[in-house]
Amino acid sequence: MAVRAVIFDLDGVLVSTDEFHYRAWQRLADEEGIPFDRDANNRLRGVGRMQCLEIMLERSPRSYTPNQKAALADRKNRYYRESLTALSPADVLPGAWEVLRGLKARGVKVAVASSSRNAPDILRRTGLAGVPDATADGNDITRSKPDPEVFLAAARRLGVAPAECLVVEDAASGVEAAAAAGMPCLAVGAAAGHPLANLSAADLASITLDDILGT
């Protein structure tokens, strides 16, 4: 079936805020006396905030109540949001603008689907806010990837059947979510080569529109 729409994950696909996330989690871990490093941070890719917190707390010397966990997650998000003030259009990843403009020129619908509740702010700060025909983010869903909820929400808002939507993802959980949604997937970055992906590329600068659309 022909691709009528492309649904992009945000962080790591169109924009990179990985370092901002890492520094926020590292700051929180340091304040709580919890060992944390980049290897631990890599386990957080494509995972919802509370799930990320649970992963970080695996090495904690103490236990936390649900209310304390909620407070920790809010503190981390505050640190992260503070860092986003430095975000600008220069943080859009290589190839992203070219692919987005090319898809629009060919009449292919475009959506952004992110588990992050900060997605609207990121889109605004990077100049991408007016580009997607639809968006779905952490403010719209109750289940994070690998659950397909966010991709299915984006497809509904586009008015396109899931099988006609191609997902672009850089996290294994996102590739799994696309498969669960019944959507073909282009895996980029760390997810390239994932066995459930239909296509793989190092990044959006490394693949042509014809390859993306299967033409």
| Whole-Å CA distances, 47 to 77, 86, 166 | 14, 23, 20
Catalytic status, residue 9: yes
The mean pLDDT of 60-79, rounded to a whole number, is 95
Which residue in this structure is represented by tokens 């073909």? 184
Which residue in this structure is represented by tokens 């959507």? 183
pLDDT band at 115 (very low <50, low <70, confident <90, very high): confident
Collect all residues with Cβ–Cβ distance below 8 Å to 124 and sequence separation of at least 6. Answer: none
- Indicate the class that CATH gives domain 18-86: mainly alpha
Identical fold between 5-16+90-213 and 18-86:
no
Give the tens place of pLDDT for each residue, 191-215. Answer: 999 999 999 999 999 999 999 998 6
The helices-and-strands tally (H runs, E runs) of the chain is 9, 6
Catalytic status, residue 170: no
Contact 55, 47 (CB under 8 A): yes
SS3 of the chain: helix, strand, coil, percent, to 5: 50, 15, 40
**pLDDT score for 200:** 97
Collect all residues with Cβ–Cβ distance below 8 Å to 119 and sequence separation of at least 6. Answer: 10, 112, 135, 137, 138, 139
| Fold adopted by 5-16+90-213 | Rossmann fold (3.40.50)
Supply the pTM of this predicted model: 0.85
Give the tens place of pLDDT for each residue, 164-184. Answer: 999 999 999 999 999 999 999
* pLDDT over 80 (residue 1): no
Contact 167, 151 (CB under 8 A): yes
Give the tens place of pLDDT for each residue, 30-60. Answer: 999 999 999 999 888 767 788 899 999 999 9
Q: Where are the alpha helices (DSSP H) in the chain?
A: 18-32, 38-42, 49-57, 66-83, 96-105, 119-126, 149-158, 172-181, 209-213
Q: Where are the domains of the chain?
A: 5-16+90-213, 18-86
Write the DSSP symbol of residue 92.
Answer: B
